[in-house]
Structure 1
Amino acid sequence: MYIKDRKNIVLCGRSGDGKSSIANMLTQGNIYRDSENYFKIGNSAKPVTEYLTANANEDFVVYDTIGFGSTGNNEAIKKIRQLFSMGRIPLHYICYVKRFKNLEDDVRLFEIFKKIFKDGEKNFVIIVTNSGPEWAKKEENVKLIKEKLGNYPVISVDFPCNENENYYHVDRDQRTKSLEHLLNELSIMELNQKF
């Protein structure tokens, strides 16, 4: 589903770390509680995305991949490579999505990620979920990620979708703030890389 002049984003990472939530925010501008989201979401590490899914809007084509660990790493890697190894789809942002914790396991998974997309390393982005935009402003947080995973841009976001009606407006405001932050950081990368 390559569409010229739209930025292509692929989201990779462990099952349950927020890839589908990011995909919905980028293409729909929100995560819906009362209607269906294009990218299925869940509230656990249990895999929801069973195959590669893509959706587009006027700005992006977003590819949400099978989570590492959900179909067995070998099967997930094989499916991701099949689509992107041909080089027919230019990937502007190759995102490794992770929660702000469990960094040790991410070291191993990030090595797999780097092998899959070895020719696109200049477009790597690490997106840390469940952390909010302020998280990446703390130098020690970003330093630890870069020490373990490499010197790539780090963007922190939080896209909560609480089932409790009392949190609806708070969650929506947090999602909006995080989406603005994510779009701003991606546009800075675009200016620096001149896609």
Structure 2
Amino acid sequence: MPRIPKQNDSVNELATQIMERLSKRNIHTEMESSTILRISDYTFELSTKKYSVTMIGQHYIIPVSYGVDVLTDMILMVVTRSESKQIEIAAVNFVRKMGVPANLKGYHLLVIAICLAVYNTEYICNTEMLYTDIAKRRNISKCGVERCIRKAIEKAYDNSPDQIQDMFYYKITKPYCSEVISLAADSIRREYFSEEINRK
């Protein structure tokens, strides 16, 4: 006599499908139980009884009736939004540690440059492309972006050369913009990204 599928079986299958889709997006997911997925500090519980999303701290209870597409997108939105904020905070902390004055325009442009380079390593090898993309976002010239970032780094170095030297793994005089962006992006990527994303 064939086994009658239980409700938990379909939820488990849905959880597996979500995990597979997230894996393709380089999001490391663990299955704590047949109905609970864990991603970093977040847990997502698939519920057959709820009809709307319930959030308790970093624990989300989400209805299975939404379907695999909506559930996957919802989880991605929560996780990537959190990750983006963490990356931005890490970039700000790096720039502050360098001693760049926050009142300089280059301070904010350097934070943006680091965040972009974290997600796209091509920017590290091609700062012209990086400055062009930032210029479009901020409605200023590409040369203006480079100049502001360079002056911000020079100001920090002039104020405290030893502090900046301590942040680098090799002997430097006054670092180039690309060196600072590369060091910051690499450090943040190692700290916040999983092995899967690092191998990307």
TM-score band, normalised by the shorter chain?
Answer: under 0.3
What's the TM-score, normalizing by structure 2? Answer: 0.27
Higher relative contact order (CA 8 A, sep 6+): 1
- More strand as a share of residues: 1
What's the TM-score, normalizing by structure 1? Answer: 0.27
- More helix as a share of residues: 2
Larger radius of gyration: 2
